[in-house]
Amino acid sequence: MFAGRRLRRAPLVGIAAAMFAAACGNTGTGSPVDVGSGSLTGAGATFPAPFYTKAFFDYAAKYPQVTVNYQAIGSGGGISAFQKGTVDFGASDVPMSAADQAKVPGGAAAMVQVPTTLGVIAVTYNLSGVSKLQLDGPTLANIYLGHISKWNDPAIAALNSGVTLPSSAIQVVHRADSSGTTYHFTDYLAKVSDEWKSKVGVAKAVSWPVGIGSAQNAGVAQSVTSTAGAIGYNELAYVVQANMSQAYLKNADGNFVQASVAGATAAASHNTSVSPTNFSITNEPGATSYPITAFSWVFLYTAYTDPAKGRAVVYLFKWLVTDGQSDGTSLQYAALPTAVQNLALTSLKTVQAGGKAVLT
């Protein structure tokens, strides 16, 4: 009788132990880790949104005591929400400037910027009968400056020998909101066109010489796919999901390449000292480097008064920049280079929850 009772009770003990381990973040070896708990809110960049959506879902499945509500409203919106303190973390494809940080309660000392992923911005187009389109930087800049307005313009034709280009008008599409994707796109154009650099410049929102604006990456993708003769720019995950056509872009070494994970990794290898003030990796050299490549970032407060929520934020992003990177590579994002991953982990160590550092 006694032995029978022990056998029936053992599974309950095992279940209880498993539940405790899951709640504490135990992987089955070593001491349980308190990964915190709570419902986290974040907002910002659309560039990494497909990655974040999958990663946050997978993390919540792994640690059900943590849920994440992320609103992809654009980098500018993410910065504004973080400055106002209405979110637990903000997200942007461009780190905050000193002026941006000054608007955060407590200033730069009250926040930390953490790189999370690496992606590429494809030049997308909708041109019936043209399965392969090649462009170089100066020509792309002249399209967005309004100097080239027809698809059969001699400058485009010269790059596409043997391709029959229509005489139809080019319908330029750009972002209408404050966008990190726009920042990196204009950063590239400024590097390949002095006129773009002097007349338009580099920013999350610029005064576009021509074209129609659409909100967010998804909006630009929709406008390009629904408008004959359109050209736009989108993060690669959106291009793949919508089965869009993307141009081959001439890189700094003179090779025509499409946006790819490998192209992102190659471009990122040329900046070995990435930081919130040294983050540009557009138009990098290298035979396979893709010209419009960028990191994306999140902003965390350096002090969370709620210990459980603070731990949850830190452990969420510790997982995302390490094991969680595999969720990104399955969606056309490149894994963070080792040096950038180390920067992320070092930055996370500056965050406190309930007056104590979460990571040591």
DSSP-derived secondary structure for 43-76:
EE-STTHHHHHHHHHHHHHHSTTEEEEEEE--HH
* DSSP string across 198-267: HHT-SSSS---SS-EEESHHHHHHHHHHHSTTEEEEEEHHHHHHTT-EE-EEE-TTS-EE---HHHHHHH
Domain that holds residue 67: 2-113+296-357
| Beta strands 171-175; 230-235: pairing state | parallel
Q: What does the alpha-carbon distance between residue 321 and residue 336 come to, in Å, rounded to a whole number?
A: 7
Answer yes or no: do 147 and 224 share one domain.
yes
- Please tell me the predicted confidence (pLDDT) of residue 8: 40
The domain boundary, picked from 272, 293, 314, lies at 293
Answer yes or no: do 198 and 165 share one domain.
yes
Structure tokens at 4: 């029978």
84's CB contacts (< 8 A; 6+ apart) are none
Cα dihedral 129→132→133→137 (10° resolution): 170
Answer yes or no: do 19 and 144 share one domain.
no
Q: What does the alpha-carbon distance between residue 206 and residue 180 come to, in Å, rounded to a whole number?
A: 12
Amino acid at 9: R
| Beta strands 212-214; 171-175: pairing state | parallel
- Please tell me the predicted confidence (pLDDT) of residue 208: 98
Q: What does the alpha-carbon distance between residue 252 and residue 288 come to, in Å, rounded to a whole number?
A: 10
| Beta strands 111-125; 230-235: pairing state | antiparallel
Answer yes or no: do 266 and 206 share one domain.
yes
**Number of separate domains in the chain:** 2
- Please tell me the predicted confidence (pLDDT) of residue 25: 58
- Please tell me the predicted confidence (pLDDT) of residue 24: 54
Structure tokens at 259: 């946006």
Answer yes or no: do 212 and 319 share one domain.
no
Answer yes or no: do 125 and 252 share one domain.
yes
Q: What does the alpha-carbon distance between residue 190 and residue 183 come to, in Å, rounded to a whole number?
A: 10
CB 233 within 8 A of CB 123: yes
Answer yes or no: do 259 and 308 share one domain.
no
Give Cα separations from 157 to 93, 150, 256, 303 (angstroms): 34, 10, 15, 56
Answer yes or no: do 200 and 127 share one domain.
yes
Instruction: Give the predicted TM-score (pTM) of the model.
Output: 0.90
Q: What does the alpha-carbon distance between residue 296 and residue 119 come to, in Å, rounded to a whole number?
A: 8
- The stretches in the chain having pLDDT less than 50 are 1-23, 27-29
The domain boundary, picked from 293, 315, 335, lies at 293
Answer yes or no: do 276 and 161 share one domain.
yes
Amino acid at 282: T
Q: What does the alpha-carbon distance between residue 21 and residue 31 come to, in Å, rounded to a whole number?
A: 9
CB 302 within 8 A of CB 349: no
| Beta strands 293-301; 111-125: pairing state | antiparallel
Cα dihedral 150→151→153→155 (10° resolution): 130
pLDDT (tens digit per residue) in 88-137: 999 999 999 999 999 999 999 999 999 999 999 999 999 999 999 999 99
* DSSP string across 158-180: HHSTT-----PBPEEEEESS--H
Q: Pick from 276, 271, 298, 296: which is nearest to 286 by CA?
A: 271
* Residue 137 exposed, middle or buried by CB count within 10 Å (0-12, 13-18, 19+): buried
The domain boundary, picked from 293, 324, 340, lies at 293
Answer yes or no: do 350 and 332 share one domain.
yes
CATH of the domain at 351: 3.40.190.10
Answer yes or no: do 194 and 257 share one domain.
yes
- Please tell me the predicted confidence (pLDDT) of residue 112: 98
* DSSP string across 89-117: EEEESSPPPHHHHHTSTTGGGGEEEEEEE
Radius of gyration of the chain (CA): 23
**DSSP, res 278:** B
Answer yes or no: do 44 and 86 share one domain.
yes
